[in-house]
Structure 1
Amino acid sequence: MQEPVILPVPVFSTLANAAFALRREVFVWEQKVPPEVELDHYDLEATHFAAIAEGEVVGTLRLVYLREHVKIGRVAVRQHFRGRGIARKMIGIAMDHARAQGHDRFYLGAQSDKLEFYRSLGFVPFGPEFIDGGMPHRAMRDYDKDSARLAD
């Protein structure tokens, strides 16, 4: 497989629509997240990224710019393309994009079984486990790491 091309895409573009379809495939169909939870008001203001390989959108994520940090979310990779480093590459490119705009504090809500992946990217978990979309999650951040504490 050739390296995927990863780029920001406008929210109402053909590529963004393909990214939303991929999110539906991964979160709603595979992981059984309720459709009304998967899409939210942040989708209209977020910066969306698409990973394109073999002529199709195979990965996506979004950045939501909040006052205290940039939230990385809705990270999804098509099942057939998992294990090839696409999520890692997307996150790196998205964070570089935000850094180029002067942002350097990142946050995400990780599915609890994905903590080690996000730790490998420099994030630390904090706070209590919580349920999102019917699955256990942990808040994670890449700043103020020394004060990050888990609570259960």
Structure 2
Amino acid sequence: MTDIIILRVPVFSTLCNAAFALRREVFVIEQKVPEEEEHDSYDLTATHFVAIAEGEVVGTLRVLFLAEHAKIGRVAVKSQWRGHGIAKQLMLAAMTHARSTGQERFYLTAQTDKIGLYEKLGFTAFGEQFQDGGMPHLAMSTYGGH
């Protein structure tokens, strides 16, 4: 197994730009999310994480620190690297970082076929299923609330 390195990276750094390119590859090209829905103003203030393997960015996510919780989103892993625990490693790194700032409450919206990953990390789904980017999603949190 190749070593996976998880790093927190500044927005618009070389590594963060590679993460944006990966998000475009996964969400826009592969999953057909409209390009205008993929990037938003939150990217400017989010805390971004990347997973690096064999010198390449192979995974990414972002964390928004909001008053009520840390919202984790834009979790993406390069297709050939899926199934290697990269999303889990990214999630654990992001949650550890958020806890170091005093945040214990986490929220995300998950594609319904990814619910199991997040449940293993302590998230519970709530509310009605909804469409986002043309795919079914459920809201999930670690604290039983919205």
TM-score range, shorter chain: over 0.9
Structure 1 counterpart of 2:91: 91
Q: Gaps (5+ residues) in structure 1?
A: none
* Distance in 2 between residues matched to 1:37 and 1:89, nearest whole Å: 26
CA displacement at 1:113 relative to structure 2: 1.1
Secondary structure, aligned partner of 2:113: helix
Structure 2 counterpart of 1:101: 101
Deviations 1:8-29 (A, max 9, x none): 1000100000000000000000
Structure 2 counterpart of 1:132: 132
Secondary structure, aligned partner of 1:143: coil
* Distance in 2 between residues matched to 1:120 and 1:78, nearest whole Å: 21
Q: TM-score by structure 1 length?
A: 0.93
Matched residue type, 1:131: Q
Q: State the percentage of identical aligned residues.
A: 64
CA displacement at 1:2 relative to structure 2: 2.1
* Distance in 2 between residues matched to 1:116 and 1:59, nearest whole Å: 18
Matched residue type, 1:119: E
- Mapping for residues 71-90 of structure 1, pairs under 5 Å: 71-90=71-90
* Distance in 2 between residues matched to 1:112 and 1:123, nearest whole Å: 13
Secondary structure, aligned partner of 2:130: strand
CA displacement at 1:116 relative to structure 2: 1.4
* Distance in 1 between residues matched to 2:97 and 2:11, nearest whole Å: 16
Structure 2 counterpart of 1:121: 121
Question: 1:51 aligned to 2:51?
Answer: yes
What count of residue pairs does the alignment treat as equivalent?
A: 146
Secondary structure, aligned partner of 2:62: strand
- Mapping for residues 63-78 of structure 1, pairs under 5 Å: 63-78=63-78
Matched residue type, 1:59: G
CA displacement at 1:115 relative to structure 2: 1.0
Structure 2 counterpart of 1:27: 27
* Distance in 2 between residues matched to 1:3 and 1:98, nearest whole Å: 23
Matched residue type, 1:81: W
Secondary structure, aligned partner of 2:126: strand
Secondary structure, aligned partner of 1:72: strand
